[in-house]
């Protein structure tokens, strides 16, 4: 069932009037592959460029974007997040792993906020590093976990 269509097939915002308020969290992850010429500039957990610290700026951009999800994605409810946290690090394959955790006590979930936060942080890494190489790949963005609401989800 597509929840953003009415009985006539027209787009509409999901009515959450009758839903119960609950604590809701979501974690999303984006993975960015950086070529060797960019990776060699990694120092102390981040990349320093003429624009500044790549990871720190990506964290700020991701949080700002998560807060604006209702403005960016049609039919998303505008939400005042209780919390948004972004972590950035390297995995065993030397890929940049970005995780965005969003939470709220509300009638609707924060999956889209977490996904937007992780996505924009990944795009910010790309933007800040593209002067060193355009061979950067944003490999994936996916929901890892959500709690609250009708049912929980956790990717295996």
Residues carrying an active site annotation: 127
- Residues 37 and 88: their CA atoms lie apart, in Å, by 19
Closest to 25 in 3D by CA, of 147, 152, 149: 147
């Amino acid at each position: 069932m597509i929840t953003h269509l009415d009985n006539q097939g027209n787009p509409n915002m999901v009515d959450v009037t009758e839903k119960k308020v609950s604590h809701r969290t979501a974690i999303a992850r984006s993975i960015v592959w950086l070529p060797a010429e960019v990776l060699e500039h990694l120092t102390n957990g981040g990349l320093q460029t003429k624009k500044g610290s790549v990871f720190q700026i990506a964290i700020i951009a991701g949080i700002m974007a998560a807060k604006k999800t209702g403005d960016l994605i049609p039919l998303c409810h505008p939400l005042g997040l209780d919390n948004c946290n972004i972590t950035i690090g390297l995995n065993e394959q030397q890929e940049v792993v970005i995780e965005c955790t969003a939470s709220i006590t509300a009638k609707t979930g924060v999956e889209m906020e977490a996904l937007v936060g992780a996505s924009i942080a990944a795009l910010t890494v790309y933007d800040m590093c593209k002067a060193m190489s355009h061979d950067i790949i944003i490999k994936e963005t996916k929901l890892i976990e959500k709690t609250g609401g009708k049912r929980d989800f956790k990717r295996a």
